[in-house]
Amino acid sequence: MTFAATSAHGTLWLTVLLGLLLGLTPLGTDSFLPAMPAIAQGFDAPAGAVQLAVTSFFLGVAAGQLAWGPLSDRYGRRAALFAGLGLFLAASLGCALAGSVPQVVAMRFGQGLGLSCGPVVARGVTRDLYERERAASLLARMMVVFGVVPILAPLAGAAMLAMSGWRAIFWLHAAVAVSLGTWAALRLAETAPRPRPAIHPARLAATYAALIADRRFVLPVAAMLCTQAGIYAFVANSAFVLVGSMGLSATQYSAAFAFVMLGQIAGAQASSRLVLGRGIARLMRIGIVLACGFGLLLGALAWAGATHWIALVLPMAGYMFATSFVIPTATAAALSPFPAMAGTASSLIGAAQFLLGAAVSTGLAAAFDGTARPLAAVAALGGVCAALIHFALSQPRREAHGPG
């Protein structure tokens, strides 16, 4: 039985389900991180070769984001979700049976391609049901659920690694795909509006071009991407810094990673409560200022030569708190003006996010020097660029339209 969308508005189960779909990407990333040194050792491969599995995963997510949004606009959110989860399941089984690092890298691309349906559908359903501050509030509540995933995922990955080896992590991914598909089939109603436009390449390209040319879309997305660069840097490089350079065990690394993600949960909880009263623009500005400050602190400590894990983990937790103010408000601001193409706009956001993730992980694989400096430099630069984009590019608009 599928529950009607009208009976699902604002209910806990909808928030949890959408939050878990949003969290598919960190599940696929963070549960894999503790296994990277073991995979390198098992196949007698260099760390950089295994890190390409992070890059291929991000590329798969980016490609999938561009596909699932238009498909969900055309065929419905449910159909896109089930197709993506099926691909995620098949690629997870392929990873579990892989016989070489290149096979793992290839199957990780398939995993990213499939599970990328989750964030696209979650954002699309949110825009189908709500707009602006109410959409931002739901997105922030979803990020509370989302924030639990990066805490549990590396812990689960470390436990699977300790008990059964790195292949068990991918069997866990397969079980998650089946479980979420079953839950969505039973509880998630179709929310995509009608009529649903046919997919024509020229029309789709024109839609993407129109979004890219619209500052209502570009400005919040650009600021959000800058702050997310620091997140991707931490995800891609933290295992090698904290385990390989700072001496933490895989379990200790998972605990440190979980602590960082508590910052995101705390920020998302605060954001969900504050946005309805303070508005999207003000809350986004607060988050960007905080991200800039914590990013600069992290960079200063790393470049001053701090080698204790606390010098990385504490500022990064603050940085994650700040991004939880930026991401839901920026997403709601970017999607709200475009109700008829929420899936396509969501796709463009997601593709940009994970192309950035692929670029950051590739760059850090080349720049890794055994310290936290490259990671910290990305976070600091991301925070500064977000502040510059937000304040510099929003100034002409305030002058044109007057204050407040």
225-231-234 Cα angle (round to 5) = 145
Instruction: State pLDDT tens for residues 135-166.
Output: 777 877 887 887 788 778 877 888 888 888 88
Tokens, residue 186:
């039973």
CATH superfamily membership of 7-192+204-394: MFS general substrate transporter like domains (1.20.1250.20)
Residue 98's pLDDT is what? 87
Residue 46's pLDDT is what? 77
Confidence of residue 83 (pLDDT cuts 50, 70, 90): very high
- Rounded distance, CA 328 to CA 370, Å? 34
Query: In the predicted model, what is the mean pLDDT of the chain?
Result: 84
Residue 395's pLDDT is what? 61
Q: If you average pLDDT over residues 216-227, what whole number do you get?
A: 90
- Rounded distance, CA 287 to CA 322, Å? 5
Q: Is the pLDDT of residue 396 over 80?
A: no
Residue 92's pLDDT is what? 95
Q: Where are the domains of the chain?
A: 7-192+204-394
- Rounded distance, CA 89 to CA 259, Å? 29
Instruction: State pLDDT tens for residues 112-141.
Output: 999 999 988 988 888 788 767 777 778 778
Among 59, 39, 55, residue whose Cα is nearest residue 47? 39
Packing angle between helix 310-335 and helix 215-239, nearest 10 degrees?
Answer: 150
Instruction: State pLDDT tens for residues 265-305.
Output: 898 888 888 887 778 888 899 999 999 999 999 999 999 88
Q: If you average pLDDT over residues 162-180, what whole number do you get?
A: 92
Residue 326's pLDDT is what? 92
Length of the chain: 404
Residue 43's pLDDT is what? 86
Instruction: Please state the pTM of the whole predicted model.
Output: 0.73
Q: Is the pLDDT of residue 2 over 70?
A: no
